[in-house]
Structure 1
Amino acid sequence: MREIAKLAATSLGLMTALVLPSVATSPADEGSIWSRADEATDTMQVGREGDAHAGNTGPGKSTSGQSQDRYLRADATACLTFDDLEAVQAITTAPGACPQNTTEAQITPACDGTRLHALWVQRLRKDGTYANPEQLTDDQCITPTDLTTQARHAFRTLHIPTPTATLQATPPLLVNIHYPAYTTATPHDRDTTLLGIPLTIRAEPTRYTWDFDDPHSTSNTLTTTDPGHPWHPGDPTPDTTWIGHTYTRLGTPDTDPHTHTDTHGNVYRTHITPTLTTTWQGRYRIQGTSTWTTIPDTLTTTSTTTPLTITEARTHLVCQDLHGNRTC
């Protein structure tokens, strides 16, 4: 394709038209995400420092007065005048559009994936005008492997809101009662464009590891694929089939950390803070399709519950009933 572009620039009467795609990108990073170009011209202006700005701001000037080059992704077809990207916008490549005595040639490489148009640039001259467009890259065939590589990078930089983790109980907790544990983790999506292709990157919660901060239990941790669910009035009493935990011991007062006895002889363990580590599997799909492709990476988030206090229910012999009548 570069040979055709050179021929167009040097041969009399041979000029080039462009079939415009919807996205322009940076030459520095073919996988980077750039803003949508101006709707009217579909060109991208890039500052000398590398920042992007889309739109019409007059020859060689940005909205801040900074000089800019212009980038464009387009399919090359030898046809009409190829002296300025602005003039190219109005040219069509419909059959018969090329005038007489001009040469028409279009290169469409075989591609099993998605074809990405060639990248062009117009350099800004010192006088504020633009030089002839230069072809920086050929058309590229974007394969699923290419997309997965870029999707992995996008997934690794994805910000996932930390889900809420709850151990459902009315404080203080009591030993030997099973308390439900659950989380609000749900799939997190981000729409983006990679290699000129609109994608949805998804982080999906797939594994939950609970640490119940219970050094006196042999089942202090629990790993499951079930996010758990809260108890509601009318539900059966939670048991060990529920995602949750049963605290069985308080520890030795004044020996084990945070275990102490109050003035009435009641034993408490305080500052119990269960934590949840959620593992998120990466996936992506091309927008407009229903097929998700797994990204071979995972991310984790860590959630903590509110600090809890646990004690034990003690029996006491009393000499009056609920109405205050003496019974002994």
Structure 2
Amino acid sequence: MTCAELGADLDSLSGIVTAPGACPEGTDIAEITVPCEDGEYALDALWVQRVQADGSYGDPEQLTDDECITPADLATEARREFKTMKITAPVATVQGNPPMIVNVHYPAYTTAAPQDRTVTLLGVPVVIRAEPTEFTWDFDDPHSPAGTTLTTTDPGRPWREGDPTPDHSWVGHTYSRLGTPDQDPGTAVDDKGNTYRTGVTVSLTTTWQGRFRVQGTSTWTDIPGTITTTSTTDPTTVTEARTRLVCDDLEGTSTC
């Protein structure tokens, strides 16, 4: 920061000052900008006014000079901002009308999408982005041989009219066993002899990777570490579908 004669070019500098407002009458503040190279960003000088013993503010003091910084200089601050970023947990869905039936493959999916936050780091506007990279489903199924968890990088997709019947190539789960009534919590038998299990809750843990870029640029820099969020579905019931021999067809005609 310098003082220059009013209306004069910058080559007629009259002196270097240490604080804004210190220019003598007839001169004004002239700012000299540090030239930054490609991939570098200008960081303005840092000034401070200290509180005096009488409660007033002292003269401004310059603590740092103008300088050029790179994404590497912002990395530590970006990581700190990412770690404190509030990420909205995506909705977890297991598709199918309750109650769910054993030996049916139910698609599971989420609508997870990148989430951005704009902050100022070291005086530079920066976009912090959290991207979903991994999904771990816990289907609350301790009785089936396939196990209760599934980890994938695929967010899954819902079944729609005209799609093939969902099979094990889809992100989802098949409940094949319900546990033993009166021994396993939540497992019981209804008055028709059907075994069922209540209070089945599916949870989804989403892992998020961080990246940042200086606002107005297109180059992203990865942030070390990850963040996880957890989503849960409403409790549901899983039951068995038992085969029964009947005498009437779909049109109500008796065949016995």
TM-score interval for Structure 1 and Structure 2 normalised by the shorter chain: 0.7 to 0.9
Alpha-carbon distance in 1 for matches of 2:251, 2:238: 30
State the Cα distance separating 1:305 from its structure 2 match: 1.3
Alpha-carbon distance in 2 for matches of 1:317, 1:232: 32
Kindly indicate whether the alpha-carbon contact (under 8 Å) linking 2:199 and 2:235 is maintained by their aligned counterparts in 1.
yes
State the Cα distance separating 1:270 from its structure 2 match: 1.1
Kindly indicate whether the alpha-carbon contact (under 8 Å) linking 1:116 and 1:142 is maintained by their aligned counterparts in 2.
yes
Please state whether the residue corresponding to 1:118 is helix, strand or coil. coil
Structure 1 residue aligned with 2:178, among 247, 250, 259? 250
Please state whether the residue corresponding to 2:112 is helix, strand or coil. coil
Provide the residue aligned with 1:297 in structure 2.
225
Residues 1:233 and 2:170 aligned together = no
Alpha-carbon distance in 2 for matches of 1:87, 1:128: 22
Higher RCO (CA 8 Å, separation ≥ 6 residues): 2
State the Cα distance separating 1:316 from its structure 2 match: 1.6
State the Cα distance separating 1:249 from its structure 2 match: 1.0
Provide the residue aligned with 1:31 in structure 2.
none
Alpha-carbon distance in 2 for matches of 1:264, 1:79: 99
User: Do the aligned partners of residues 176 and 116 (structure 1) sit closer, same or farther apart at CA in structure 2, a change above 3 Å counting?
Assistant: same
Residues 1:203 and 2:130 aligned together = yes
Name the % identity. Answer: 61
State the Cα distance separating 1:234 from its structure 2 match: 1.0
Kindly indicate whether the alpha-carbon contact (under 8 Å) linking 2:34 and 2:68 is maintained by their aligned counterparts in 1.
no
State the Cα distance separating 1:130 from its structure 2 match: 5.6
Alpha-carbon distance in 1 for matches of 2:73, 2:40: 10
State the Cα distance separating 1:79 from its structure 2 match: 4.4
Structure 2 residue aligned with 1:215, among 130, 142, 145? 142
**RMSD of the alignment, in Å?**
3.0
Size of the aligned set, in residue pairs, is 244
Provide the residue aligned with 2:76 in structure 1.
149
What's the TM-score, normalizing by structure 1?
A: 0.66
Alpha-carbon distance in 1 for matches of 2:41, 2:98: 58
User: Do the aligned partners of residues 79 and 213 (structure 1) sit closer, same or farther apart at CA in structure 2, a change above 3 Å counting?
Assistant: farther
Kindly indicate whether the alpha-carbon contact (under 8 Å) linking 2:18 and 2:61 is maintained by their aligned counterparts in 1.
no
Alpha-carbon distance in 2 for matches of 1:318, 1:302: 46
Provide the residue aligned with 1:259 in structure 2.
187
| Unaligned stretches of 5+ residues in structure 2 | 5-11
Alpha-carbon distance in 2 for matches of 1:110, 1:312: 70
Kindly indicate whether the alpha-carbon contact (under 8 Å) linking 1:274 and 1:304 is maintained by their aligned counterparts in 2.
yes
The residue type paired with residue 199 of structure 1 is V
What's the TM-score, normalizing by structure 2?
A: 0.83
| Unaligned stretches of 5+ residues in structure 1 | 6-15, 19-76, 95-105
